[in-house]
Every structure is written in structure tokens, then in C-alpha cells.
Structure 1
Amino acid sequence: MATTTIQVPKETRDHLAELAKERGVSIGQMVEALAAEQPTVAQRAARLAADRKVVREVLGVDISDEEFDRAPDVLANIYKLAAEKVRAVGRDAA
């Protein structure tokens, strides 16, 4: 695999070196892992299209992209309900 040099401030290099050391990897491997965690706009769009295709196939309904965009964020609502439940359990335990 070909490699390249990236110029960053010394503080950034030192921070990456410390993170890499803590994880037992090289700085290059650390940067590669960090980059892999951040999909590009095109990658996010492709993932969204693939996810919507699966939903359409599973539901057996031809939902337009516009309908998807107008739909409520179900996952965010689930997270919100779960967080509220955890807080309520915490209050009850106190």
C-alpha cells in the first residue's frame, strides 16, 4: 500500500501519537481508523438509499424519498423514550 505524508501542527501529531500508543497501533493506523469513522457525503447518501431500499422491500410499499423525508425520526424518538425511562428509574432509585 502506498503511503503519504500529512502535515499537521506538532500538538496534533503528539495527540495522535498518544492516542495511537494507548490503542497499541501506529499513528497511520490511528488516522486510518479515524477517517473510516467519518463517511463522505456520497457514502452517507449511498447508505441512505440502500437503507430506504430495504425498508421498501420489507414493507412491500413504494415509499417515495419525499415521504421518507417527511416521516418522523422513529429512532430518535425511541432514544428519547429510553432516556426518559432511564432518568425515571434513576429518580425512583434515589
Structure 2
Amino acid sequence: MALKQPGQIADEAEAAALLTVLLASLALHGVALDMCEHYTALDAYRLLFDVILPEAQIHPQLCSTGFIQHYATWEYCAACAAEFEADCERHHEEG
């Protein structure tokens, strides 16, 4: 599957269409991406293209095992990290 460079994507609509095709292809191999509320389609596509896919080790028979390999945008999201830290501080102060 030939992927378009993130910098060549015109707008969010195009990014959403490309992301849908990419996620459908990954799903056929037992791979999923969990997206946080902060990530746009272009952010998610860029994360997959630049970070996750170059390092991912996806076994061609993974899908037949029933196992699903999940990746999550929150692991790379500064806004999610800030929310987590704020929640931890609140919990620590209350406890």
C-alpha cells in the first residue's frame, strides 16, 4: 500500500479519507488505533506515518489469532498528558 506523505495532504477532509483507508487496511491485519479527542485525522495519519508504522512489527498472521494490536494517540498527546497530570494532582490533594 503506497501512502501519501502527510505534508502533501491538502486538508482535514482528505486526511480523514486517507486515514479511513489506512485504518481499514490495518484492521485486516489485526491492528487498531485508539484516538483521543484532541487528535485530528491529519494528526493521527501523521502519527501513523511518521512514528508508529516505521517501528511497528505487525505479524502477517496476527488477525487469525484473534489478537488485536492497539496503538493509542493519547500516548503521544501533550493535551492528554496535561489532563492526566492535572487529574493526578487533584486526586493527590483530595486524598
Q: Which TM-score band applies after superposition, normalised by the shorter structure?
A: 0.3 to 0.5
Instruction: Look at both structures and tell me which one has the larger radius of gyration over its CA atoms.
Output: 1
The structure carrying a bigger strand percent of its residues is 2
Higher relative contact order (CA 8 A, sep 6+): 2
Normalization by structure 2: what TM-score? 0.33
TM-score in terms of structure 1 length: 0.34
